[in-house]
Amino acid sequence: MAADAPTAQGAPEPLFQRLCLIGVGLIGSSIARVARARGDIARTLVVTARSQATLDRVRELGLADVVEEDAAKAVEGADGVIFCIPVGAYAEVMARIAPHLAPGAIVSDVGSTKGSVVRDLTPLLPKGVHLVPAHPMAGTEHSGPDAGFAELFEGRYTMLTPLAGSDPQAVQKIAELWRRCGSMVETLDPVTHDKIVAIVSHLPHLIAFTICSTADDLAEETKEQVLKFAAGGFRDFTRIAASDPTMWRDVFLNNREALLEMLGRFVEDAHALGRAVRWGQADYIEDRINRGRKIRRGLIERHQA
Amino acid sequence: MAADAPTAQGAPEPLFQRLCLIGVGLIGSSIARVARARGDIARTLVVTARSQATLDRVRELGLADVVEEDAAKAVEGADGVIFCIPVGAYAEVMARIAPHLAPGAIVSDVGSTKGSVVRDLTPLLPKGVHLVPAHPMAGTEHSGPDAGFAELFEGRYTMLTPLAGSDPQAVQKIAELWRRCGSMVETLDPVTHDKIVAIVSHLPHLIAFTICSTADDLAEETKEQVLKFAAGGFRDFTRIAASDPTMWRDVFLNNREALLEMLGRFVEDAHALGRAVRWGQADYIEDRINRGRKIRRGLIERHQA
Ligand SMILES: NC(=O)c1ccc[n+]([C@@H]2O[C@H](COP(=O)([O-])OP(=O)(O)OC[C@H]3O[C@@H](n4cnc5c(N)ncnc54)[C@H](OP(=O)(O)O)[C@@H]3O)[C@@H](O)[C@H]2O)c1
Ligand SMILES: NC(=O)c1ccc[n+]([C@@H]2O[C@H](COP(=O)([O-])OP(=O)(O)OC[C@H]3O[C@@H](n4cnc5c(N)ncnc54)[C@H](OP(=O)(O)O)[C@@H]3O)[C@@H](O)[C@H]2O)c1
């Protein structure tokens, strides 16, 4: 790739002249940290966020060359703009920045849903601006600019969901950005993406939130004992459930169809297993448990566990 | 405690003269390892299991003083006997060993359910033999004699569920055994025990098995992609779901009532959250997510997370 070609000084040419991150929480600040550490992602890194507190913190941490309060100003002159905010906020932010996007700029994102991103951003996209939606399959249950770290994306997949008419060069540039973040890049369509993340990520989070709120509804005395003796599997669920409410509310609402489909299947299966427990159907129970183990073995074989 | 008094040589007197472990998988072999390492738990450690392969392995690992194929023989002359087998096998094994139990012997166990243990063992208990059911709240997804380790119980709770008429000295001896394993000991009644573990352990396992089998039912192509991109929460569930099928089948069948009660509540709550997703009830979704976080904070405050 031309972007990899070393300059006269031996340092490769930065991918972007002026890269603007909109939102600088766990994901945005991790990209910023990689960009600062490598130097070959953006010549100038611009960061914007919603609150003054976050902007101040970004300055303290030295995460960007330019910290800009106003998103519209932040994107001016940028050849790359990455949405790193909850997916429910995209349409409103895009409406504000669209008139200020530079011709030829690439707009990308890191959102956990992709159908909604295409739905919300495409109608507002100025002519000559390229949209390349992306989703790094990496995260933790923490949020905010202090939660990020440069190694977050290493060895993890990033999914690109370019549109049919996407500019191949723009797609290549975003793919290269993620490779420089240490990620393995895969391309797929938004519908398939949303179906897969519904089962590997969104349903597990919905389940974790649910079991924790089920526990929270227990009578006070039982709840105290649950907290005391939480070590048996429940604790793992509470870790997942510690994730940011706004982000997850937006994810659920913006992957509604695939999530409800997977939830429906899951609840059917849970009912069937519960029924087998009620009626003492030992073979059925063992069979379902063994299928779970099979999936685990599949992950181990693929070095994903 | 008298049991703690050092002998003339300065080494404390062993708790049991002859301690027999029935079953030597993850939990049994971990107790054996602690007993070997400390020397103050059993003067003579006897181990029995079902298969020749396990007995051979126990000999190779040097986990016991006596390795005995026949459970009835193994318990002869023992002042302590601990069931370390799946709870569904208790009644059958107890029927075989009961005639061979020494007068005054203490029978205990490590099973994950406690109502069933009282139900299955009490009717077969010879006069003068003491029953002290116990459950160490510690485990991993691995099983067999190679899976155990001496630190398994350190800093974890062990729950004792003595019966109304239990001999206090027998209860104290089992409590001391678990303290010597590094455990914190709590006493509660079997019904409360079963209710708590239903939500902190059994339901999370049932859910993990279910979501894995839901994934296993997906069309081949989607399943491949699920395995590939499993990193988003799902992977944590597959770890829990890797646990032993026989053990978990027995746990589910022997904590039926409490488990079905908790499963019922959980499914109701999952339906309610799904309904809120369907109808776009953002506030409801956030509220449920926040309750999950509250539980997590509760754990962190209690140093359980
Ligand atoms: N967390 C994960 O595990 C994960 C993994 C993969 C992808 N993602 C996706 O990455 C995106 C960001 O997630 P994150 O975990 O980095 O979130 P985060 O740590 O909570 O940070 C969110 C950032 O977005 C800004 N923001 C929030 N609402 C906004 C609004 N209405 N307008 C403008 N800015 C707003 C916040 O600014 P202030 O701080 O000023 O409020 C903050 O800088 C989401 O779309 C999420 O789906 C997350
Ligand atoms: N695993 C956990 O996380 C955990 C935590 C707390 C409590 N527990 C409880 O601890 C007990 C043992 O679990 P574990 O994880 O140690 O299991 P494990 O690793 O699978 O070992 C089970 C042991 O029981 C023996 N066994 C199995 N079925 C038997 C039968 N029908 N008759 C006689 N012996 C039999 C096995 O002998 P062979 O090897 O010869 O077949 C093996 O030695 C269970 O009651 C479980 O509920 C488990």
- pLDDT of B159 reads 97
What class, spelled out in words, does domain A192-301 have in CATH?
Answer: mainly alpha
Answer whether A296 sits within 8 Å of B262, measured CB to CB: no
Amino acid at B91: A
* pLDDT exceeds cutoff 60 at B12: yes
Report the DSSP pairing between strands A134-136 and A157-160: antiparallel
Residues A83-138: pLDDT tens digits? Answer: 999 999 999 999 999 999 999 999 999 999 999 999 999 999 999 999 999 999 99
* pLDDT exceeds cutoff 60 at B10: no
Sign, Cα dihedral of A178, A53, B289, B298 = positive
Least-confidence region, from A218-227, B54-63, B193-202: A218-227
A131 backbone φψ class: left, alpha, beta (φ>0; ψ -120 to 50): beta
ipTM surpassing 0.95, yes or no? no
Counting atoms of ligand 2 from 1, which one is nearest the CA of B111? 45
As a whole number, mean pLDDT of residues A29-47 equals: 98
Residues A47-86: pLDDT tens digits? Answer: 999 999 999 999 999 999 999 999 999 999 999 999 999 9
Give the closest residue (by CA) to ligand 1 atom 21: A25
Q: Please, which pLDDT band fits residue A230 given cuts at 50, 70 and 90? A: confident
Q: What is the DSSP string of A25-69?
A: SHHHHHHHHHHHHHSSSEEEEEEE-SSHHHHHHHHHHT--SEE-S
As a whole number, mean pLDDT of residues B131-151 equals: 96
Domain with CATH 1.10.3660.10 in chain B: 192-301
Query: Exposed, middle or buried, B224 (CB in 10 Å: 0-12/13-18/19+)?
Result: middle
- pLDDT of A184 reads 97
Identify all chain A residues contacting B200, using CB atoms and an 8 Å cutoff: 226, 229-235
Percentage of chain A modeled with pLDDT above 70: 96
- pLDDT of B5 reads 47
Answer whether B304 sits within 8 Å of A231, measured CB to CB: yes
User: Which residue ranges have their beta carbon within 6 Å of ligand 1?
Assistant: A 23-28, 49-51, 54, 84-87, 89, 93, 110-112, 135-136, 139, 143-144, 147, 244, 247, 251
A17 in contact with chain B, both atoms CB, cutoff 8 A? no
Q: Using a 6 Å cutoff on CB, does residue B55 contact ligand 2? A: no
Give the closest residue (by CA) to ligand 2 atom 39: B54
Round to whole Å and give the CA distance between A18 and A105: 10
Query: Exposed, middle or buried, A146 (CB in 10 Å: 0-12/13-18/19+)?
Result: middle
* All residues at 6 or more sequence positions from A89 whose CB lies less than 8 Å from its CB, including other chains: A250
A269 in contact with chain B, both atoms CB, cutoff 8 A? yes
Counting atoms of ligand 1 from 1, which one is nearest the CA of A246? 20
- pLDDT of A276 reads 98
* pLDDT exceeds cutoff 80 at A7: no
- pLDDT of A304 reads 72
Helix (H) / strand (E) element for A123: namely none
Round to whole Å and give the CA distance between A91 and A72: 14
Q: What angle do CA B177, B183, B186 make, to 5 degrees?
A: 90
* pLDDT exceeds cutoff 80 at A211: yes
Answer whether A270 sits within 8 Å of B292, measured CB to CB: no
Output the six-digit token pair for B301. Answer: 């405050």
Other Cβ atoms less than 10 A from the Cβ of A159: the count is 24
As a whole number, mean pLDDT of residues B211-225 equals: 90
β-bridge mates for residue B22, sequence order: B48, B83
- pLDDT of A300 reads 86
Round to whole Å and give the CA distance between B264 and B250: 20
* pLDDT exceeds cutoff 50 at A159: yes
Domain with CATH 3.40.50.720 in chain B: 2-188
As a whole number, mean pLDDT of residues A179-199 equals: 97
CATH number of A2-188: 3.40.50.720
Tell which of B156, B193, B211 to mutate to test the A interface (max A CBs under 10 Å). B211
- pLDDT of B3 reads 45
For residue A47, report the distance from its CA to the centre of ligand 2, in Å.
Answer: 56
- pLDDT of B11 reads 64
For residue A111, report the distance from its CA to the centre of ligand 1, in Å.
Answer: 8
Counting atoms of ligand 1 from 1, which one is nearest the CA of A52? 40
Rg (CA), chain A: 22
B296 in contact with chain A, both atoms CB, cutoff 8 A? yes
Give the closest residue (by CA) to ligand 2 atom 27: B85
Output the six-digit token pair for A142. Answer: 């923490």
- The residues in A 141-160 lying below 8 A from B, measured between CB atoms, are 156-157, 159
- pLDDT of B275 reads 98
Round to whole Å and give the CA distance between A28 and A21: 7
As a whole number, mean pLDDT of residues A128-151 equals: 96
Q: Using a 6 Å cutoff on CB, does residue B26 contact ligand 2? A: yes
Residues A246-276: pLDDT tens digits? Answer: 999 999 999 999 999 999 999 999 999 999 9
Residues B144-165: pLDDT tens digits? Answer: 999 999 999 999 999 999 999 8
Nearest-CA neighbor of A214 among B207, B95, B88, B168? B207
Does A230 or A50 have the greater pLDDT score?
Answer: A50
Report the DSSP pairing between strands B134-136 and A66-67: unpaired
- pLDDT of A122 reads 97
Residues B23-77: pLDDT tens digits? Answer: 999 999 999 999 999 999 999 999 999 999 999 999 999 999 999 999 999 999 9
Mean pLDDT of chain A: 94
Q: How far is CA B44 from CA B8, B17, B48, B76, B123, in A?
A: 19, 6, 13, 12, 29
Contact A159, A187 (CB under 8 A): yes
Round to whole Å and give the CA distance between A64 and B144: 53
